[in-house]
Chain A
Amino acid sequence: MITTDILIIGAGPTGLFAVFEAGLLQLKCHLIDALPQAGGQCSEIYPKKPIYDIPGFPEVLAGDLVDNLMEQIKPFQPGFTLGERAQTIEKLEDGSFIVTTNKGTKHHAPIVAIAGGLGSFEPRKPLLENLAKFEDNGVAYIIKDPEVYRNKKVVIAGGGDSALDWSIFLADVAAEVTLVHRRNEFRGALDSVEKVQKLKDEGKINLSTPSEIVGLNGTDVLESVSIRKNDVEELITLEVDNFIPLFGLSPKLGPIGDWGLEIEKNAIKVDNTLDYQTNIPGVYAIGDVNTYPGKLKLILCGFHEATLMCQSAYQRIYPDKKYVMKYTTVGGVTGFDGSKKEAPKAVVKAIE
C-alpha cells in the first residue's frame, strides 16, 4: 500500500504543479498516470509544439515545460505509479480514500486530486469485426514484452513513430515482420523512416503500402489477416501469429466516470467559488478534467486551481492549524530531500 497526503490522478502539467504547491505546505504527493511517462498531453500529443501563454514564458515547447516542472518539484520527492490507470475509489470510515489501479496497486490518502485532463489515454482500436475475439489471442495494442514475438510472424499496422520503431525492433526478434499502412508516406522521425527503408531493402521488413487490414481470420487464435491493397479488388491473405495495430492513443474519461462524481459535458463539476472540490468531500478535480461556469481549459488556469486545491487540502488534513501564505521569495523552498533554496540576503554595509 502506497500512502501519501495528496493522491494526484494524472501527471500532466496541472498535477505536477500541484506537487510544488503541496510541497510548500509540507504535504507529500503521489501521482498515478496511465501513460508510461509524466507530462500528460504535453508529452504524449505535442511535446515538440510551442505554447505561448504560460506566464513568464514568451514561448516554451510543451516537452520543455514538463521537464521544467519535473525539475521544480524534484525537492518534494513525488512518488509515481506510471503505466497504470486509476480504477476504483473506496472511502474509509475515517474519511480517507483507497484508490486501486487496473493492475491492483493500492494507494491510501486523505485527499484525492483528480488532474486527469481529458481522461486516460487508451489505444485507438481499428474498426474490425471480431477484433475483440482475438484480443490477447494474437492481437495486442501495446507491446509489453517483445520476447512474446520471438520467431513469430507479426503484422504491424500504422504510420507513426510507434509503428516504425516497433517494426525496426521486431525485425531482429520476429520470424517475419510486415508493416501495413494506408499511405506510402510515414509520419515519424526521419531516422526511423530511413531505417525502415534500409530494413525493407535488406528484406528484413515486408512493407505493404498503400493498404489496409480489413479482416481477421482464425478459429480460436489469430491465424491470418486479410489485406486490401489500394486499387486491387482481390484481398491478400497473410498468415500471421500476431497483429499489432499501432494507431496512437486517444483519451477516455474511463472508470473515473463511475466514481459517483457529478459529471457535466464529460468533465467533473467542482466548486469554483472556493477550492475546486467535487461533490465528494475530500475529492478535488483540477485542470482540464473539471468544469464550472466560465471554465477555460488552459494550463495556466490548471496551475491556479492546483494552488487553491492545496490550501483546502491542508485545512482538511490539519483542521486546527492556522496557515498564513508565505511568498517563496520570503520563505524560500525547503525540499523533503533536505535541499533549501532561498533568496540571497541583501548586503547591509555603510558607505564611508
Chain B
Amino acid sequence: MTDIKIKITDRDGVLHEIDAPTDMNMNLMEIVRSYELAPEGTIGICGGMAMCASCQCYVTSNHDLPEMGEEEEAMLSEAFNVKDNSRLGCQLHISEDMNGLEVVLAPEEG
C-alpha cells in the first residue's frame, strides 16, 4: 500500500493534510468524500462523470497534472467561480506523481 500526502483546504478555509492511497483506483473527489471534507450531497453530485462541477478545486502547487479531457474542459467552461487553475477533482486520478499536491476546494454553487 502506497500513500501520498495531499494538502486540501476545505470550503471553510481549514487546511487538512491527508494520506491518499494510490492503489485503490480513487480520484481526488472521492478522497475528499472519504475524509468528509465537504458535506455529503455538496460534492461529487454526478458521481464522478464530469457532469457537474461540485468537485471543482483550485490547484495551488506546481504539479504536472494530466491534461484535461474534453468532458472536463466542457464542464469547467460552464461552471461558476472558475479560475485558471481550476480542475474537477473527479478527473484527477490519485497517482504517485501527485505527492505533495495542494488544492483548495471551490465554493459550493448557490
Contacts and interface: CB of A to CB of B under 8 A. Distances in A.
Among the interface residues B40, B42, B49, which one has the most CB atoms of the partner chain A within 10 A? B40
Given A49-B49, A267-B40, A182 B77 contact: yes
A63 to B, nearest CB: 14
Interface string B95-110: 0000000000000011
B74 interface: yes
B39 A118 contact: no
Contact of A253 (B41, B78, B81): B41
- Interface residue tally on A, bucketed by range: 20 to 34
Nearest to A184: B77
Given A124-B109, A127-B80, A127-B110, A118 B41 contact: yes
Interface residues of B, number: 18
Contacts of A185: 73-74, 77
A313 to B, nearest CB: 26
B45 interface: yes
B4 interface: no
Contact of B52 (A126, A181, A250): A250
B39 A127 contact: no
Contacts of A124: 80, 109-110
Contacts of A126: 80
Contacts of A253: 41
9 contacts: A45-B51, A45-B52, A125-B110, A182-B78, A183-B73, A185-B73, A185-B74, A266-B41, A267-B40
Interface of A: 41, 45-46, 49, 118-119, 124-127, 158-160, 181-183, 185, 187, 247-248, 250-251, 253, 265-267
Given A45-B49, A265-B40, 4 more contacts: A45-B46, A118-B45, A127-B110, A158-B78
